[in-house]
Amino acid sequence: MLEERLRDFLLRERMIGHIQRYVELGVNRADTLRQTIAKFKGTLSADQKELIKARESLEPKLAELRRRGQSLDHLIDRYQQEILNVVELEFDAYGNSLAEKLPKLLKQKKLKTLEGGNQAFLALPNHQKKVTDEVKQLFEASLEDLGSELTSRLESRIKAILERMHGEVKDRITELSREYTQLKAQIPGIPLLQESEVYGSAERVLAALAGLLLGDPAGVVFGSALGLRGLLTTLLVQITAWITFLATGSLAVFWIAIPVLLVSVILTGGFGLEDRLKDKAVERFLKLYSYRRSDIDADKEFQKLSSEERKKIYQATKEYQRQELVENIRVELNRKTFEEVRSQVKAYIDEEENIIHQTIEEGLKDEAEKARRLHEFSQLEAKISSARADLKDVLVKVKQLG
């Protein structure tokens, strides 16, 4: 009963919270549209000479704001490189710690095939295979444990980087938003608004960035489809999959050369057999895992293999896997979320510029066109106000459910 109540509470509270955020952003969008229409209507009655003068004076200021907005690309690149540097450092620490941590983890896991009277069957090839198979299973489990530790460390460090990035981008966008608002106020006929009354595309961009970088579910409404999960979740799922695949993949490749060594240890028998088996497996694995391409070509054991087979062995080494992990994350950042962040910033600047240009152009139309546009704007304004009222009713009902 307690578990069911907890589940219902989490589902209910989270769903209500999500709906409330979606509706609030919808109201915000309606307010933005109403304010844009108010600007258009205001310039319809403005002096055209003053509008032309304002347009000429605003163009260099708009160009400067665009340049500053585009400088965010360098900021995004800097944070991307910081994430890649962290991945490299943590993977190196992981690889270097295997020699110390792997034997300790393996010793905590007992070989059941050596317990009790099982040692009486060690001379049998069938039982020898059971022992070596179990050593491999314990080895895989230990590598997965160490991979989980690596993922946990990366989660903590990448989360901190993304939070700093979000804060810096948010500050830049907020500053740009204030300056765009000041430029709009210089257009003749624009109604003056209190700062608390100003709603704009900046709020939607910031919500989208929160969704992309921090996993804020509200970001999915006016942001990216990735907003529901956020970069951190998406990236860590990928990292976990890569690390698990790389580690167990290495063991699968290297294991071909390990059972023969273990059988020779089994045949010696005696006290401390289990520890000697594990130590021999770790020793051989770490030697192969640390190989460079030249080491594989020079190893007599591998010289009889084809170039394609030696290539597969190299792909299981730490050197190759480090390169692969960093490159996969670089592609993940560029192809998806960071590119989406750049797109959101560019779209924001384009929208602000277009509003200013279109606002001025509305006031430069002839009188007949102005009258027609004024009628259209009034009708559109009424529809938006009606939709906004409906959203406010929904918001009241959602809050009552909470």
Q: For residue 126, what pLDDT band results from cuts at 50, 70 and 90?
A: very high
| 190 pLDDT higher than 70 | yes
Q: For residue 16, what pLDDT band results from cuts at 50, 70 and 90?
A: low
Q: For residue 2, what pLDDT band results from cuts at 50, 70 and 90?
A: very low
Domain segments of the chain: what residues? 46-364
| 95 pLDDT higher than 90 | no
| 180 pLDDT higher than 50 | yes
| 38 pLDDT higher than 60 | yes
| pLDDT at residue 169 in the model | 85
Residue that wins the pLDDT comparison between 202 and 199: 202
Give residue-wise pLDDT tens across range 347-394.
888 988 988 898 888 878 887 777 787 777 788 878 888 888 877 877
Mean pLDDT of 201-206: 59
Mean pLDDT of 41-46: 72
> Which residue shows structure tokens 């009486």?
120
Query: Three-state secondary structure along the chain?
Result: CHHHHHHHHHHHHHHHHHHHHHHHHHHHHHHHHHHHHHHHHHHHCCCHHHHHHHHHHHHHHHHHHHHHHHCHHHHHHHHHHHHHHHHHHHHHHHHHHHHHHHHHHHHHCCCHHHCHHHHHHCCCHHHHHHHHHHHHHHHHHHHHHHHHHHHHHHHHHHHHHHHHHHHHHHHHHHHHHHHHHHHHCCCCCCCCCCHHHCCCHHHHHHHHHHHHHHCCCCHHHHCCHHHHCHHHHHHHHHHHHHHHHHHHHHHHHHHHHCHHHHHHHHHHCCCCHHHHHHHHHHHHHHHHHCCCHHHHHHCHHHCCCCHHHHHHHHCCCHHHHHHHHHHHHHHHHHHHHHHHHHHHHHHHHHHHHHHHHHHHHHHCCCHHHHHHHHHHHHHHHHHHHHHHHHHHHHHHHHHHHC
| pLDDT at residue 86 in the model | 93
Among 35-44, 141-150, 238-247, the range of highest mean pLDDT: 141-150
